[in-house]
Structure 1
Amino acid sequence: MGKAGKALRQALKTYGISQNKLAVTLKVDRSVVFHWFHENRDPSAETVVQIAEALHSLNPDAAAEFIRLYVGDFLKSDEED
C-alpha cells in the first residue's frame, strides 16, 4: 500500500492544502482522506482521478505534482520520444 498516499501526502504538504479542504472538495468524510494520507487505505483508480481533479480545482500545480509523484516519470519519457 501507499504510492497514492505518499504522492498525496507530498502534494498536500508542498502546496499547503489541508486534508479537510481536500475532503470538502471531494465531498467525502475527512477520515477517508486521512486513511489515504496515512497509507491505511489506497484509493481506487477512479478515485485517484477524482483526487487529481479536486486538487486541480484547489491548485493546478498540486494536481500536477500528485500525478507526477503517483505515475512517476513514465509520462515524461513518452513526451521526449
Structure 2
Amino acid sequence: QQEEFTGRTVSSLMQSFVRSNMPLTTFLRWMQHPLKRLHGTYSSHQLALLWSAMAKLNQKNRPLYKLMRKEVKPL
C-alpha cells in the first residue's frame, strides 16, 4: 500500500527533521547521501518521500533545486 504523495506528508516529514534539531547543512548532506548517512530515526518510507520531494522540486523549480544542492558541502 503506497501512501499518496501530498504536501501534508512532506510537511510532516520536514517537521520531523526540525524536531530532530539536525543542522541544515547536516540534513542536506544526509539527504545527498541517504544510504551512507542513514539514521535510525528515519524509515525507508520517509526516505522515499524525501527523494520524491527532491525529484518534484527538480522538475518544477530547477533553480531552487540547484540552490539546495549548492548548500551541500562536499564530504
Superposition TM-score, scaled by structure 1 size = 0.39
Superposition TM-score, scaled by structure 2 size = 0.41
Larger helix share, 1 or 2:
1
